């Protein structure tokens, strides 16, 4: 009986975890940490680039930042204090992807220059002073 209860509890926990789609509850602002963000705008986007790659993401969890920059994966650490946000030691893998590299360079430069952030209903903004560096929306999991 106890073994059956443990198996059921384990399966239930896995099932509930699989239902997590990184979408915050309705009516609440998106949390900065524990959310996967999708890049929707970049102030340093080069002219002539047709569009942002669809898979550019940013995720912050307990002092670590990770994501996909359009070609390579990136990683580093961050310090968060109120609205102040500083990224440190940001590095990436080293594949070459031609046009996507321009977006990647712009994103990594924006992350390095970030001094603060703002979460609003439409998403998150990385800032340097009053200048917007990058815009993100919550990435919704469509695998359900």
Is residue 123 one of the residues assigned to a domain? yes
DSSP state of 2: H
Is residue 16 one of the residues assigned to a domain? no
Confidence of residue 132 (pLDDT cuts 50, 70, 90): very high
The position carrying tokens 């990224």 is 87
Confidence of residue 139 (pLDDT cuts 50, 70, 90): confident
Alpha carbon distance 143, 51 (integer Å):
24
Count of the separate structural domains present in the chain: 1
Residue 92, exposed/middle/buried by CB under 10 A (0-12, 13-18, 19+)? middle
Q: pLDDT averaged over the chain?
A: 78
87 lies in which domain range? 30-138
Is residue 101 one of the residues assigned to a domain? yes
User: What's the CATH code of the domain at 67?
Assistant: 2.40.128.270
pLDDT per position as a tens digit, 72-101: 999 999 999 989 999 999 999 989 887 778
Is residue 25 one of the residues assigned to a domain? no
Confidence of residue 102 (pLDDT cuts 50, 70, 90): confident
The values of phi and psi at residue 87, to 5°, are: -100, 140
């Amino acid at each position: 009986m106890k073994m059956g209860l443990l198996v059921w509890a384990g399966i239930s926990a896995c099932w509930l975890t699989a239902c997590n789609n990184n979408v915050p509850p309705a009516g609440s602002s998106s949390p900065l940490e524990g959310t996967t963000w999708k890049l929707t705008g970049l102030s340093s986007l080069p002219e002539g680039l047709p569009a942002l790659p669809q898979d550019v993401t940013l995720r912050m969890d307990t002092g670590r930042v990770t994501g996909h920059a359009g070609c390579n994966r990136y990683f580093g650490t961050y310090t968060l204090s109120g609205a102040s946000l500083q990224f440190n030691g940001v590095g990436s893998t080293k594949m070459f992807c031609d046009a996507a590299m321009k977006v990647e360079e712009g994103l990594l430069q924006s992350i390095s220059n970030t001094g603060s952030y703002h979460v609003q209903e439409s998403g998150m903004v990385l800032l340097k002073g009053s200048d917007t560096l990058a815009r993100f929306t919550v990435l919704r999991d469509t695998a359900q």
